Amino acid sequence: MITRTPSRSAVFGLSTAVAATVLLSLAPAPALAVPGSGGYADLVESVSPAVVYVEVTGKRTTKAEAGAKPHKQMSPGEDFFEEFRRRFGHQMPGQGQMRPTKGAGSGFVISEEGLIVTNHHVVKGADTVEVTLSDGSKHAAEVIGADPLTDIALLQIEAGKDLPVVEFGSSGDLRVGEEVIAMGSPFGLSGTVTSGIVSATSRNINAGPFDDFIQTDAAINRGNSGGPLFNGEGDVVGVNTAIFSPDGGSVGIGFAVPSDLVRDIVADLQDDGRIDRGWLGVQIKPLSEDAANVLGLEAGKGVVIESVVADSPAEAAGLKPGDVVVSFGGAEVGELRDLTKAVAMNNPEEETKMEILRRGKTLEIDVTLGNRADQEA
- 206 and 220 assigned to the same domain: yes
Please indicate whether residue 129 or residue 99 has the higher confidence score (pLDDT). 129
139 noted as active-site residue: no
- 149 and 135 assigned to the same domain: yes
Judge whether 23 lies within some domain: no
Surface-to-core class of residue 300, CB atoms within 10 Å of its CB (0-12 exposed, 13-18 middle, 19+ buried): exposed
Mean pLDDT value across residues 185-206: 93
**Cβ atoms of 261 and 140 closer than 8 Å:** no
CATH number at residue 347: 2.30.42.10
Backbone φ, ψ for residue 188 (5° rounding): 80, 5
pLDDT digits (tens, 9 = 90+) for 291-346: 888 888 877 788 999 999 999 999 999 999 999 999 999 889 988 888 988 898 88
Taking 70 as the threshold, does the pLDDT of residue 34 lie above it? no
- 140 and 195 assigned to the same domain: no
Taking 50 as the threshold, does the pLDDT of residue 81 lie above it? no
Judge whether 27 lies within some domain: no
pLDDT digits (tens, 9 = 90+) for 357-375: 998 899 999 999 998 877 7
- 55 and 153 assigned to the same domain: yes
Judge whether 175 lies within some domain: yes
Choose one of 157, 173, 188: the last residue of a domain. Answer: 157
Choose one of 109, 130, 157: the last residue of a domain. Answer: 157
Judge whether 333 lies within some domain: yes
- 83 and 178 assigned to the same domain: no
Mean pLDDT value across residues 271-278: 88
The pLDDT, as a whole number, for residue 72 is: 33
Taking 70 as the threshold, does the pLDDT of residue 22 lie above it? no
Given 75, 225, 245, 312, which residue is catalytic?
225
Q: What is the mean pLDDT of the chain?
A: 82
CATH number at residue 239: 2.40.10.10
Question: Cα angle vertex 202, ends 200, 207, to 5°?
Answer: 105
- Counting the structural domains of the chain, the total is 3
Whole-Å CA distances, 219 to 71, 149, 181, 224:
21, 24, 9, 9
- 192: number of Cβ within 10 Å: 19
- 54 and 153 assigned to the same domain: yes
- 198 and 248 assigned to the same domain: yes
Judge whether 24 lies within some domain: no
The pLDDT, as a whole number, for residue 6 is: 47
- 186 and 218 assigned to the same domain: yes
pLDDT digits (tens, 9 = 90+) for 208-252: 777 889 999 999 999 999 999 999 999 999 999 999 888 778 899
Helix (H) or strand (E) holding 2: strand 2-4
Does pTM surpass 0.85? no
Helix (H) or strand (E) holding 374: helix 372-376
Judge whether 223 lies within some domain: yes
The pLDDT, as a whole number, for residue 346 is: 85
Judge whether 36 lies within some domain: no
Judge whether 32 lies within some domain: no
- 340 and 266 assigned to the same domain: no
Surface-to-core class of residue 30, CB atoms within 10 Å of its CB (0-12 exposed, 13-18 middle, 19+ buried): exposed
Given 7, 75, 139, 151, which residue is catalytic?
151
Choose one of 226, 244, 272: the last residue of a domain. Answer: 272
pLDDT digits (tens, 9 = 90+) for 85-125: 444 444 444 445 556 788 999 999 999 999 999 999 999 99
- 144 and 71 assigned to the same domain: yes
- 229 and 290 assigned to the same domain: no
- 172 and 256 assigned to the same domain: yes
pLDDT confidence of 35, banded at 50, 70, 90? Answer: low
137 noted as active-site residue: no
What domain range is 267 assigned to?
Answer: 2-11+41-48+165-272
312 noted as active-site residue: no
